[in-house]
Amino acid sequence: MTRVHDVGGMHGFGPIDRDEVDEPFHHEWEARVFALNRLLLRAKVYNLDEFRHAIERMDPVAYLSASYYEKWFAGIERLLAEKGVTS
């Protein structure tokens, strides 16, 4: 089954926008999400495949409308809930 993250070869996403400020993080919260993921991976709360899979399981509409670190946050939230860490 093809899911929405599997965009290789898909048409219609428009031109590549390279005009952005090349900063690693645009907001403080993005840096925190990045760091959180790194620490949770290191602590083996989940692994990289589980993280990727959590993002890939996002609702397609949510996937396409979320910014990069919003997707990460959604993945982290989901995994922590599924693993009973936050629930």
Partner 1 sequence: MSDHGDGHGHEHDHAHDHASSATMSQRVAGLVATLERKGVVTGQQLDRAVEEFLAHAKPANGAAVVARAWVDPAFKARLLADANAAIEELGFDMRHWSYVKLRAVENTEHLHNVIVCTLCSCYPLSLLGPSPAWYKSVAYRSRVVRDPRGVLEEFGVTLDPGTEIEVWDSTAELRYLVVPRRPAGTEGMGEAELAKLVTRDSMIGTGLCAAPPR
Write the CB contacts of 3 (distance below 8 Å, at least 6 apart in sequence).
Answer: 56, 60
| Chain positions contacting partner 1, by CB under 8 A | 5-11, 13-22, 24-29, 31-36, 38-43, 45, 47-49, 52, 55-56, 64-70, 73, 76-77, 80, 85-86
> CB-wise, 6 or 82, nearer to partner 1?
6
Tell the smallest beta-carbon distance from residue 72 to partner 1 (Å).
10
Chain centroid, CA 59 distance in Å: 12
> CB-wise, 82 or 86, nearer to partner 1?
86
> CB-wise, 1 or 18, nearer to partner 1?
18
Tell the smallest beta-carbon distance from residue 83 to partner 1 (Å).
11
Tell me the two tokens of residue 24. Answer: 């690693």
Write the CB contacts of 69 (distance below 8 Å, at least 6 apart in sequence).
Answer: 25, 29, 30, 33, 34
Tell the smallest beta-carbon distance from residue 1 to partner 1 (Å).
14
Write the CB contacts of 39 (distance below 8 Å, at least 6 apart in sequence).
Answer: none
